[in-house]
Protein backbone atom coordinates (compact mmCIF):
# COMPACT_ATOMS: atom_id res chain seq x y z
CA UNK A 1 0.00 0.00 0.00
CA UNK A 2 1.37 3.42 -0.97
CA UNK A 3 0.45 6.91 0.14
CA UNK A 4 -0.32 9.00 -2.96
CA UNK A 5 -1.00 12.47 -1.56
CA UNK A 6 1.79 15.01 -1.28
CA UNK A 7 3.49 14.77 2.11
CA UNK A 8 4.51 18.13 3.59
CA UNK A 9 7.65 18.09 5.75
CA UNK A 10 8.33 20.70 8.42
CA UNK A 11 12.01 20.86 9.39
CA UNK A 12 12.58 21.91 13.00
CA UNK A 13 16.04 22.97 14.20
CA UNK A 14 16.80 23.81 17.84
CA UNK A 15 19.83 26.09 18.14
CA UNK A 16 21.89 27.65 20.88
CA UNK A 17 24.89 29.70 19.71
CA UNK A 18 25.22 27.66 16.54
CA UNK A 19 27.92 29.76 14.86
CA UNK A 20 29.33 28.76 11.50
CA UNK A 21 28.16 25.17 11.85
CA UNK A 22 24.58 26.41 12.02
CA UNK A 23 25.06 28.44 8.84
CA UNK A 24 26.34 25.30 7.08
CA UNK A 25 23.33 23.38 8.39
CA UNK A 26 20.91 25.93 6.89
CA UNK A 27 22.86 26.11 3.62
CA UNK A 28 22.56 22.36 3.17
CA UNK A 29 18.81 22.43 3.84
CA UNK A 30 18.46 25.19 1.24
CA UNK A 31 19.90 22.80 -1.35
CA UNK A 32 17.61 19.84 -0.70
CA UNK A 33 15.40 18.55 -3.50
CA UNK A 34 12.51 18.73 -3.01
CA UNK A 35 12.55 21.61 -0.56
CA UNK A 36 10.85 21.18 2.82
CA UNK A 37 7.38 22.66 3.24
CA UNK A 38 8.85 24.97 5.91
CA UNK A 39 11.91 25.36 8.13
CA UNK A 40 11.33 26.43 11.71
CA UNK A 41 14.32 27.47 13.82
CA UNK A 42 13.78 27.39 17.58
CA UNK A 43 16.41 29.74 19.01
CA UNK A 44 16.99 28.57 22.56
CA UNK A 45 18.10 31.75 24.34
CA UNK A 46 21.10 32.18 22.04
CA UNK A 47 23.52 35.05 22.64
CA UNK A 48 25.47 34.96 19.36
CA UNK A 49 22.69 36.05 17.01
CA UNK A 50 21.94 32.60 15.63
CA UNK A 51 18.31 33.65 15.17
CA UNK A 52 19.49 36.44 12.85
CA UNK A 53 21.39 33.90 10.72
CA UNK A 54 18.17 31.91 10.50
CA UNK A 55 16.32 35.02 9.30
CA UNK A 56 18.92 35.46 6.54
CA UNK A 57 17.83 32.09 5.15
CA UNK A 58 14.16 33.03 5.25
CA UNK A 59 13.20 30.52 7.93
CA UNK A 60 10.47 30.95 10.48
CA UNK A 61 12.07 31.80 13.83
CA UNK A 62 10.64 31.20 17.29
CA UNK A 63 12.61 32.10 20.40
CA UNK A 64 12.81 31.25 24.08
CA UNK A 65 13.72 34.02 26.54
CA UNK A 66 16.32 31.91 28.34
CA UNK A 67 18.20 28.75 27.52
CA UNK A 68 15.80 25.89 28.27
CA UNK A 69 17.30 22.92 26.42
CA UNK A 70 16.69 21.28 23.04
CA UNK A 71 13.61 19.38 24.25
CA UNK A 72 11.81 22.65 25.02
CA UNK A 73 13.06 24.22 21.77
CA UNK A 74 11.92 21.29 19.65
CA UNK A 75 8.50 21.25 21.30
CA UNK A 76 8.17 24.99 20.72
CA UNK A 77 9.03 24.60 17.06
CA UNK A 78 6.52 21.76 16.72
CA UNK A 79 3.76 24.01 18.07
CA UNK A 80 4.16 26.27 15.02
CA UNK A 81 4.68 23.53 12.44
CA UNK A 82 2.00 22.89 9.83
CA UNK A 83 3.50 19.94 7.96
CA UNK A 84 2.25 16.38 8.22
CA UNK A 85 5.79 15.25 9.10
CA UNK A 86 8.05 16.91 11.67
CA UNK A 87 11.68 16.44 10.67
CA UNK A 88 14.02 17.28 13.55
CA UNK A 89 17.56 18.23 12.56
CA UNK A 90 20.33 19.37 14.91
CA UNK A 91 22.05 22.70 14.26
CA UNK A 92 25.48 21.04 13.91
CA UNK A 93 24.66 18.55 11.15
CA UNK A 94 24.64 18.85 7.37
CA UNK A 95 21.93 16.96 5.49
CA UNK A 96 22.37 15.51 2.03
CA UNK A 97 20.41 16.91 -0.94
CA UNK A 98 18.10 13.89 -0.90
CA UNK A 99 17.21 14.15 2.81
CA UNK A 100 13.64 15.37 2.31
CA UNK A 101 12.99 12.87 -0.48
CA UNK A 102 14.31 10.06 1.76
CA UNK A 103 11.89 11.09 4.51
CA UNK A 104 8.93 11.43 2.14
CA UNK A 105 9.55 8.17 0.27
CA UNK A 106 9.92 6.20 3.50
CA UNK A 107 6.61 7.43 4.90
CA UNK A 108 4.92 6.84 1.53
CA UNK A 109 6.17 3.24 1.43
CA UNK A 110 4.98 2.60 4.98
CA UNK A 111 1.69 4.37 5.72
CA UNK A 112 1.56 2.77 9.17
CA UNK A 113 4.99 4.17 10.10
CA UNK A 114 4.98 6.65 13.00
CA UNK A 115 8.60 7.81 12.91
CA UNK A 116 11.98 7.25 11.32
CA UNK A 117 15.59 8.01 12.18
CA UNK A 118 18.74 8.32 10.14
CA UNK A 119 22.46 8.01 10.83
CA UNK A 120 25.68 10.00 10.87
CA UNK A 121 27.72 9.44 7.72
CA UNK A 122 31.22 7.92 7.63
CA UNK A 123 33.00 11.24 6.94
CA UNK A 124 32.90 13.37 10.12
CA UNK A 125 33.86 16.99 9.56
CA UNK A 126 36.34 17.48 12.44
CA UNK A 127 39.66 15.76 11.74
CA UNK A 128 41.01 15.19 15.27
CA UNK A 129 41.09 11.59 16.50
CA UNK A 130 38.31 11.82 19.12
CA UNK A 131 35.87 13.43 16.69
CA UNK A 132 36.60 10.83 14.03
CA UNK A 133 36.39 7.98 16.53
CA UNK A 134 33.19 9.13 18.25
CA UNK A 135 31.25 9.97 15.11
CA UNK A 136 32.40 6.89 13.20
CA UNK A 137 31.40 4.70 16.14
CA UNK A 138 27.96 6.31 16.08
CA UNK A 139 27.78 5.60 12.33
CA UNK A 140 28.77 1.98 12.90
CA UNK A 141 26.20 1.47 15.67
CA UNK A 142 23.34 2.78 13.54
CA UNK A 143 24.45 1.06 10.33
CA UNK A 144 24.60 -2.28 12.17
CA UNK A 145 21.37 -1.70 14.12
CA UNK A 146 17.94 -3.22 13.53
CA UNK A 147 15.89 -1.45 10.85
CA UNK A 148 12.86 -1.96 13.08
CA UNK A 149 14.17 0.76 15.37
CA UNK A 150 13.81 0.69 19.13
CA UNK A 151 14.08 4.41 19.81
CA UNK A 152 14.10 7.92 18.31
CA UNK A 153 17.01 10.21 17.40
CA UNK A 154 16.70 13.99 17.57
CA UNK A 155 19.71 14.85 15.40
CA UNK A 156 18.04 13.38 12.31
CA UNK A 157 14.59 12.03 13.05
CA UNK A 158 11.14 12.48 11.55
CA UNK A 159 7.76 11.79 13.09
CA UNK A 160 4.14 12.21 12.09
CA UNK A 161 2.87 15.44 13.60
CA UNK A 162 -0.35 13.87 14.91
CA UNK A 163 1.62 11.13 16.67
CA UNK A 164 4.07 13.65 18.16
CA UNK A 165 1.21 15.70 19.59
CA UNK A 166 -0.58 12.60 20.85
CA UNK A 167 2.42 11.49 22.94
CA UNK A 168 3.00 15.12 24.05
CA UNK A 169 6.38 15.52 22.38
CA UNK A 170 9.75 15.54 24.11
CA UNK A 171 10.02 15.41 27.89
CA UNK A 172 11.06 19.01 28.58
CA UNK A 173 12.37 18.22 32.06
CA UNK A 174 15.62 17.31 30.28
CA UNK A 175 17.33 20.69 30.51
CA UNK A 176 20.44 19.76 28.55
CA UNK A 177 21.06 17.88 25.32
CA UNK A 178 20.61 14.45 26.83
CA UNK A 179 18.43 11.42 26.12
CA UNK A 180 15.17 13.29 25.54
CA UNK A 181 14.99 11.70 22.08
CA UNK A 182 15.61 8.19 23.41
CA UNK A 183 12.93 8.73 26.05
CA UNK A 184 10.47 9.82 23.35
CA UNK A 185 11.31 6.68 21.38
CA UNK A 186 10.60 4.49 24.39
CA UNK A 187 7.17 6.08 24.80
CA UNK A 188 6.43 5.64 21.11
CA UNK A 189 7.27 1.93 21.26
CA UNK A 190 5.25 1.44 24.45
CA UNK A 191 2.28 3.05 22.70
CA UNK A 192 2.63 0.48 19.93
CA UNK A 193 4.03 2.81 17.26
CA UNK A 194 6.49 1.71 14.60
CA UNK A 195 9.87 3.43 14.14
CA UNK A 196 12.10 2.80 11.12
CA UNK A 197 15.87 3.17 10.93
CA UNK A 198 16.56 4.37 7.39
CA UNK A 199 20.28 3.69 6.96
CA UNK A 200 20.39 5.62 3.68
CA UNK A 201 19.27 8.83 5.41
CA UNK A 202 22.67 10.11 6.53
CA UNK A 203 23.90 13.45 7.85
CA UNK A 204 27.38 14.80 8.48
CA UNK A 205 28.18 15.74 12.07
CA UNK A 206 30.17 18.96 12.37
CA UNK A 207 30.85 18.83 16.11
CA UNK A 208 34.45 18.72 17.31
CA UNK A 209 34.83 16.42 20.29
CA UNK A 210 37.52 16.93 22.94
CA UNK A 211 38.21 14.73 25.97
CA UNK A 212 36.22 16.89 28.40
CA UNK A 213 33.16 17.38 26.21
CA UNK A 214 33.13 13.71 25.20
CA UNK A 215 33.26 12.34 28.74
CA UNK A 216 30.74 14.88 30.04
CA UNK A 217 28.25 14.08 27.28
CA UNK A 218 28.68 10.30 27.42
CA UNK A 219 28.71 9.94 31.21
CA UNK A 220 26.50 12.68 32.64
CA UNK A 221 24.09 13.40 29.81
CA UNK A 222 23.68 9.94 28.31
CA UNK A 223 24.76 6.96 30.40
CA UNK A 224 23.41 8.15 33.78
CA UNK A 225 19.96 9.28 32.61
CA UNK A 226 19.70 6.30 30.24
CA UNK A 227 20.24 3.99 33.22
CA UNK A 228 17.41 5.74 35.06
CA UNK A 229 15.22 5.39 31.97
CA UNK A 230 15.96 1.66 31.76
CA UNK A 231 14.90 1.20 35.39
CA UNK A 232 11.85 3.43 34.96
CA UNK A 233 10.52 1.42 32.03
CA UNK A 234 12.13 -1.93 32.92
CA UNK A 235 13.25 -2.13 29.31
CA UNK A 236 16.67 -3.43 28.23
CA UNK A 237 16.65 -3.85 24.46
CA UNK A 238 19.15 -5.82 22.38
CA UNK A 239 19.85 -3.03 19.90
CA UNK A 240 22.21 -0.11 19.23
CA UNK A 241 24.32 0.70 22.33
CA UNK A 242 22.51 -1.90 24.46
CA UNK A 243 23.36 -4.98 22.43
CA UNK A 244 24.26 -8.12 24.38
CA UNK A 245 27.86 -7.88 23.11
CA UNK A 246 28.16 -4.42 24.69
CA UNK A 247 26.80 -5.62 28.00
CA UNK A 248 29.18 -8.59 28.01
CA UNK A 249 32.07 -6.24 27.18
CA UNK A 250 31.27 -4.08 30.20
CA UNK A 251 31.32 -7.15 32.44
CA UNK A 252 34.63 -8.25 30.93
CA UNK A 253 36.18 -4.79 31.44
CA UNK A 254 35.42 -4.87 35.15
CA UNK A 255 36.67 -8.44 35.28
CA UNK A 256 39.89 -7.27 33.63
CA UNK A 257 40.35 -4.53 36.23
CA UNK A 258 39.85 -7.02 39.06
CA UNK A 259 42.30 -9.47 37.47
CA UNK A 260 44.98 -6.77 37.00
CA UNK A 261 44.65 -5.55 40.60
CA UNK A 262 44.68 -9.11 41.96
CA UNK A 263 47.80 -9.88 39.90
CA UNK A 264 49.79 -7.60 42.24
CA UNK A 265 49.34 -10.25 44.92
CA UNK A 266 49.10 -13.35 42.75
CA UNK A 267 50.89 -13.26 39.39
CA UNK A 268 48.77 -16.11 38.08
CA UNK A 269 45.98 -13.61 37.46
CA UNK A 270 48.04 -12.06 34.66
CA UNK A 271 47.02 -15.07 32.57
CA UNK A 272 43.39 -14.39 33.50
CA UNK A 273 43.80 -10.75 32.45
CA UNK A 274 45.31 -11.82 29.12
CA UNK A 275 42.43 -14.21 28.52
CA UNK A 276 39.91 -11.45 29.18
CA UNK A 277 41.76 -9.14 26.77
CA UNK A 278 41.54 -11.79 24.07
CA UNK A 279 37.83 -12.24 24.76
CA UNK A 280 37.25 -8.49 24.50
CA UNK A 281 39.11 -8.31 21.21
CA UNK A 282 37.16 -11.25 19.79
CA UNK A 283 33.80 -9.90 20.98
CA UNK A 284 34.42 -6.48 19.42
CA UNK A 285 36.28 -7.66 16.32
CA UNK A 286 33.56 -6.41 13.90
CA UNK A 287 33.93 -2.89 15.35
CA UNK A 288 37.72 -2.86 15.01
CA UNK A 289 37.53 -4.29 11.49
CA UNK A 290 35.19 -1.43 10.61
CA UNK A 291 37.70 1.18 11.85
CA UNK A 292 40.53 -0.64 10.06
CA UNK A 293 38.61 -0.48 6.76
CA UNK A 294 37.70 3.17 7.21
CA UNK A 295 40.90 4.66 8.68
CA UNK A 296 43.63 2.01 8.61
CA UNK A 297 45.23 -0.29 11.16
CA UNK A 298 46.99 2.45 13.14
CA UNK A 299 43.72 4.25 13.74
CA UNK A 300 42.00 0.99 14.67
CA UNK A 301 44.70 0.24 17.25
CA UNK A 302 44.20 3.72 18.75
CA UNK A 303 40.48 3.02 19.00
CA UNK A 304 40.84 -0.06 21.20
CA UNK A 305 41.88 1.62 24.50
CA UNK A 306 39.28 4.37 24.02
CA UNK A 307 36.61 1.82 23.26
CA UNK A 308 37.47 -0.15 26.39
CA UNK A 309 37.49 3.07 28.40
CA UNK A 310 34.02 3.77 26.99
CA UNK A 311 32.84 0.39 28.32
CA UNK A 312 34.37 1.21 31.70
CA UNK A 313 32.67 4.56 32.26
CA UNK A 314 29.40 3.30 30.76
CA UNK A 315 29.45 0.44 33.26
CA UNK A 316 30.35 2.80 36.07
CA UNK A 317 27.45 5.08 35.11
CA UNK A 318 25.10 2.08 35.14
CA UNK A 319 26.25 1.14 38.64
CA UNK A 320 25.85 4.70 39.92
CA UNK A 321 22.52 5.18 38.14
CA UNK A 322 21.21 1.89 39.53
CA UNK A 323 22.26 2.87 43.05
CA UNK A 324 20.57 6.26 42.70
CA UNK A 325 17.40 4.62 41.43
CA UNK A 326 17.33 2.20 44.34
CA UNK A 327 17.97 4.96 46.88
CA UNK A 328 15.03 6.91 45.44
CA UNK A 329 12.88 3.78 45.68
CA UNK A 330 13.75 3.54 49.36
CA UNK A 331 13.09 7.24 49.88
CA UNK A 332 16.70 7.96 50.81
CA UNK A 333 17.29 10.26 47.84
CA UNK A 334 14.99 12.97 46.51
CA UNK A 335 13.78 12.79 42.94
CA UNK A 336 15.18 15.70 40.96
CA UNK A 337 12.55 18.00 39.46
CA UNK A 338 14.73 18.73 36.43
CA UNK A 339 17.23 16.56 34.66
CA UNK A 340 20.48 18.53 35.01
CA UNK A 341 22.30 15.23 35.37
Q: Would you say 182 and 229 are in contact if contact means Cβ atoms under 8 Å apart? A: yes
Q: Would you say 144 and 80 are in contact if contact means Cβ atoms under 8 Å apart? A: no
- 278-308 pLDDT tens trace: 999 999 999 999 999 999 999 999 999 999 9
How high is the pLDDT of residue 340?
43
Residue 20 has pLDDT above 80, yes or no: yes
- 240-258 pLDDT tens trace: 556 788 899 999 999 999 9
Q: How far is CA 46 from the centre of its chain?
A: 22
- 112-163 pLDDT tens trace: 999 999 999 999 999 999 999 999 999 999 999 889 998 999 999 999 999 9
Could you tell me which residue, 199 or 337, shows the higher pLDDT? 199
Reported as a pLDDT band with limits 50, 70 and 90, residue 1 is: very low
| Mean pLDDT to the nearest integer, 319-338 | 77
How high is the pLDDT of residue 329?
79
Nearest to 307 by CA among 245, 264, 263, 231: 245
Reported as a pLDDT band with limits 50, 70 and 90, residue 32 is: very high
Residue 337 has pLDDT above 70, yes or no: no
Residue 209 has pLDDT above 90, yes or no: yes
Reported as a pLDDT band with limits 50, 70 and 90, residue 336 is: low
| Mean pLDDT to the nearest integer, 21-32 | 97
Distance CA 196, CA 148 (A): 5
How high is the pLDDT of residue 128?
97
The pTM for the full model equals 0.92
Helix (H, G, I), strand (E, B) or coil at 44: strand
Nearest to 86 by CA among 188, 239, 1, 225: 188
For 206, counting Cβ atoms within 10 Å of its Cβ (0-12 exposed, 13-18 middle, 19+ buried), the class is buried
**Percent of the chain predicted with pLDDT > 70:** 94
Distance CA 156, CA 118 (A): 6
Q: Would you say 122 and 199 are in contact if contact means Cβ atoms under 8 Å apart? A: no
Reported as a pLDDT band with limits 50, 70 and 90, residue 4 is: low
Amino acid sequence: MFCNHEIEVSVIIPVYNGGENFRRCLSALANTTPSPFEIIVAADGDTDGSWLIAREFGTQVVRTNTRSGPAVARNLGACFAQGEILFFVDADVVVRPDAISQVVSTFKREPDLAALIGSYDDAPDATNFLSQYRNLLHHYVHQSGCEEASTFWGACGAIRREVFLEVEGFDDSYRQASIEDIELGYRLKQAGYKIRLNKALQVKHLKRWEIGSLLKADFYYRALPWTELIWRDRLLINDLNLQVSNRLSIILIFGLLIAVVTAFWWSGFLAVALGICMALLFLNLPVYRFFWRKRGIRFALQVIPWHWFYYFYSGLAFIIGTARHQLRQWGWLKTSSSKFV
